Structure 1
Amino acid sequence: MTSPSKLPLPPGKFGLPVIGETIEFFTDRNFQKKRLEKYGDVFKTNIFTKPTVVMVGAEANEVLFRNENKYVKATWPKSTRILLGADSLATQEGGIHSSRRRIIFQAFQPRALESYIPTIEKITQRYLTEWEQKQEFAWYDELRKYTFDVASTLFIGKDGGAETPLANLFEEWVKGLFSLPINLPWTAFGKAMKCRRKLLRELEMIIGDRLKTYDANAEPTDALDLLIRAKDEDGNALSIDELKDQILLLLFAGHETLTSSLVSFGLLVGQHRDVFEKIRTEQDALDIGNGLDMATLQQMTYLDQVFKEVLRLVPPVGGGFREVINTFEYKNFQIPQGWAVQYQIAQTHKDEALYPDHEKFDPERFSPERLADKQKKFGFIPFGGGMRECIGKEFARLEAKILASMLARDYDWELLPDQDLSMQVIPTPLPKDGLQIRFYRRKESSSTTA
């Protein structure tokens, strides 16, 4: 049997010295597609200043997800690791990661999610009313404010967070997450580092105020309350520094990627009126009266199909990174120790064997008769997979379904003409003109506004 280190490297090229093909990675939305067509579903490149193997498809995902801490370990580009912080769940490894994941999951367990529903409904209705009054606007900008308001209210108890300095700092910080880690005042990374320091100071004040009034016997009111009182297996609570980095990660996860999914929903459903009518028919059949609950949300099976197809067609994260800790073999190529590996979410979801006519928006793929997401292990991975699967995926689904339900019951929208609907993909996908829409109340609304 040939040793993996004796096998050839995958085909591909490294590009320029040091920065490799990083610029093309950022600027060419067909970066992966071109290389897949030229080299096949495993190839080498150099991005974020590191030699990297790109492995595409369900089989590749299974190898990486099932061999965490054997062949690979989770990693992020250097800029992302620094800006998320050493105490962030995303950058932690091994036993610490497992322990902290169990703690943070307390903010996303079913009981916690159920308690979030009335707050999400209240904020959603406020925005729906504002959008009706505005009539015409860029939906992406509004959805960013909406998701930040929900996240800041539920995670740190800061209602109306989108109108605070915290939101502006957060926006600038996000812009540097996937950038070249050059820490100069005028670079995206340098500006993001400055914002990170200010964000941590803000969060420290919020946490400090909460600790002053902390009552161990009181019912938790938000995720921060849950995290403050949470203990690991040895009975230790999170430190202030850990709390700050974990809350920053929660704000990012509950805002950035969810905004992208919601704007993709608005775009795709806005282009397919037949799908919107089916969503509306399902909502009307549920006869929702005074507010939603988890049982009612679970009955929205067609809406589930729609969101799965949105996430398949436009996943908010295009892929993820691993670092090779032991050289291994994949498809008769050497995947060398010390290199990075990128798995591909977007390209996995274009596999014609799993998703025939993959460019078509077809929620029926996920119907009980077809179950496209169950065909192959790790063939549908909008939230990643394995022990690093997105911890907040059920929260994202909850918020998305509440917004879509309230939209379909009482409101409607149409895409304005003469706009650029092509997608930019860094850091997350969005239409280049921000999805310009006309928003209005549903004609002959059949439900009572929540």
Structure 2
Amino acid sequence: MALSALLATFLCTIVLPVLLFLVAVKLWEVYMIRGRDPSCSAPLPPGSMGLPFIGETLQLILQRRKFLRMKREKYGYIYRTHLFGNPTVRVTGADNVRHILLGEHKLVSVQWPASVRTILGSDTLSNVHGALHKSKKKAIMRAFSRDALENYIPVIREEVRAAVQDWLQREVVLVYPEMLRLMFRIAMRILLGFAPEQIKTDEQQLVEAFQEMIKNLFSLPIDVPFSGLYRGLKARNFIHAKIEENIKKKLQESESKNIDALQQLIDNSRKSGEPFSMQAIKESATELLFGGHETTASTATSLIMFLGLNPEVMDRLRQEIMDKEEQGMHLDNLNIEALEQLKYTGCVIKETLRINPPVPGGFRVALKTFELNGFQIPKGWNVIYSICDTHDVAEIFPNKEEFQPERFMTKLTEDPSSRFQYIPFGGGSRMCVGKEFAKVLLKIFLVEVVMQSNWTLLNGPPTMKTGPTVYPVDNLPTKFTSYVRT
């Protein structure tokens, strides 16, 4: 009798809940698969939908690149999952990605997860469509013209030189946090037109708030106290308050000679004849700040890592700079033309972006049901195209695991047939508007840091994580010493 009671208790407290959970998961899977379009004969991609309602979001957040690699190895280049509250198809490989990127407005449309849209705002460049997207993009592109980039060079050099001199005085430098601060200062000055004294006053609070916002950018869309979305919004509101102060100063100026991206957005708003929206400008400024410093900080950190692990690349990079100096290039008077002559330096940046693209992919939504490589992509499902996985499987790159900048000395990525095998800045009409700005900024960074210092990675090769951009888990502790020419 006692044994029967114990068995019944065991069944009720352990076995039954487990069975009910498994049944719920199976019913969830069946329910989500019913979302396929019966008018299309192609099957859904292989994959799994995870737990009810939350899908596989938690696994992605916790495991990031490990999760993505595991899914790709198990299901191939196109698979289904459920992320951030939506059924999703993840797409890898040049041919598949080409269809997505060139299918903008026909097959797919940009749509970031609800948490991203809530925090960054629905009227930002990455979220708007049609004429509004073209108008905003045109305004921002003026801030990234060749003349504008030329004007930014002294500010970039000033900030990088000051940062390197500071690193040389320290026993240990945590590279990733330092890169975030450096690129944040540069973005605040160049993109948002903040004066150096303004940044100095609020820098620490702004950097911390921005990191809190970014950390919670991809979260479950649940706005309750202490949730990721709640914390992200709180941090964003602090940033908006500081940006609003700067916008009001700009509005008081009847005519500004500033060429920063924020000024371009304000001028565009004035000329459009539409009612001025402070909220829309703040959202656009916050998006610029994210795109203009988070991604470059990630890549600058990876540059320090790869050069620290590959001293022969550092030597060749320095030699190129010194050869150009002998040919008349002056480090104290860098310009766009001189930077363009640093071909190997550019290859070091390209190779870094190949292995560690700062943004792992892009989000779209299917506007209609369509077929991709034999699989059905149902209308309304999210589509994520993967940058990091596409680089991992690209056929044009032999010895993919090795850091070999010289591979880019040829024109291999300029061949139309290999166009979508290398996509660090995305592609199509949504290609990163700040691409040329990033190239100039990173080249100046390399020239300054390489010609002023040597460095040693104190922990060796780090473990890399994505959240939402790529960064080293240990923050890359490094010892910098002065470089003396021989």
**TM-score in same-fold range (> 0.5):** yes
1:284 equivalenced with 2:325 (yes/no): no
* CA deviation after TM superposition for structure 1 residue 155, in Å: 2.0
Match of 2:242 in 1: 202
Q: Provide the rounded CA distance (Å) in 2 between the counterparts of 1:423 and 1:177.
A: 19
Amino acid corresponding to residue 215 of structure 1 in structure 2 = S
- Counterpart CA distance in 1 for 2:87 and 2:285 is 32
Amino acid aligned to 1:173: M
Determine if the alignment matches structure 1 residue 140 to structure 2 residue 180: no
**Using the alignment, how far apart are the partners of 2:394 and 2:427 within structure 1?**
21
Distance in 1 separating the partners of 2:251 and 2:72: 52
Judging by fraction of residues, say which structure has more helix: 2
Q: Percent identity between the aligned chains? A: 36
Structure 2 residue runs without a partner (length 5+):
1-36
Describe the SS at the equivalent of 1:173: helix
Match for 2:309: what amino acid?
Q
Return the alpha-carbon distance in structure 1 between the equivalents of residues 51 and 454 of structure 2: 49
Alignment of 1:165-244 (within 5 A): 165-212=205-252, 214-216=253-255, 218-230=256-268, 239-244=277-282
Over residues 223-244 of structure 1, what are the superposed CA-to-partner deviations in whole Å (9 max), with x where a residue is unaligned? 3333322369856586322221
1:255 aligns with 2:290: no
1:441 and 1:278 mapped to 2: Cα distance?
18
Q: How far did 1:271 drift?
A: 0.2
Task: Show CA shifts across 1:2-44 (max 9, x none).
Answer: 9962221111110100111111111223222222222221111
Can you list the C-alpha shifts for 1:116-173, whole angstroms capped at 9, x where unaligned?
A: 0011111111111111111421111111100000001112232263625332322211
Q: 5+ unaligned residues in a row in structure 1: which ranges?
A: 446-450
Q: Is the 8 A contact 1:79 1:180 kept in 2?
A: yes
Q: 1:116 aligns with which of 126, 129, 152?
A: 152
What is the Cα deviation at residue 289 of structure 1? 4.1
What is the CA–CA distance in structure 1 between the aligned matches of 2:264 and 2:376, rounded to whole Å?
Answer: 45
Amino acid at match of 1:299: Q
Asked if 1:8 corresponds to 2:49, the answer is: no
Q: Which residue of 1 aligns with 2:478?
A: 437
The CA RMSD measured in Å over matched residues stands at: 2.0
Structure 1's 202 and 352: CA in aligned 2 closer, same or farther, altered over 3 A? closer
Tell me the equivalent position of 2:142: 106
Q: In the alignment, what sits opposite 1:27? A: 62
* Amino acid of the structure 2 residue aligned with 1:192: G
Shift of 1:424: 1.2
Runs of 4+ in 1 over 6 A off after TM superposition: none
User: 1:318-333 maps to which residues of 2 (within 5 A)?
Assistant: 318-333=360-375
Query: For residues 224 and 51 of structure 1, what CA distance do their matches in structure 2 show?
Result: 36
Equivalent of 1:360, from 402, 413, 419? Answer: 402
**Residue in 1 aligned with 2:18?**
none
Which stretch shows the higher mean deviation, 109-118 or 157-166? 157-166
* Distance 1:174-1:438 versus aligned 2 partners, 3 A rule: same
Work out the CA distance in 2 between the residues paired with 1:180 and 1:147: 28
Out of 51, 69, 80, which is 1:44 matched to?
A: 80
- Cα–Cα, structure 1 residues 352 and 66, in superposed 2: closer, same or farther, change >3 Å? closer
Give the TM-score taking structure 2 as reference length.
0.86
TM-score (norm 1): 0.93
1:448 is matched with none
1:265 aligns with 2:265: no
The one-letter code sitting in structure 2 at the alignment partner of 1:182 is: I
Q: Secondary structure at 1:296's aligned position in 2?
A: helix
- Which residue of structure 1 aligns with residue 33 of structure 2? none
User: How many pairs does the alignment contain?
Assistant: 440
The answer (yes or no) to whether the contact 2:176–2:471 under 8 Å persists in 1 is: yes
1:84 is aligned to 2:123: no
Contact 1:308 1:366 (8 Å CA) reproduced: yes
Q: Contact 1:108–1:392 (CA<8 Å) still a contact in 2? A: yes
Distance in 1 of aligned mates of 2:166 and 2:331: 22
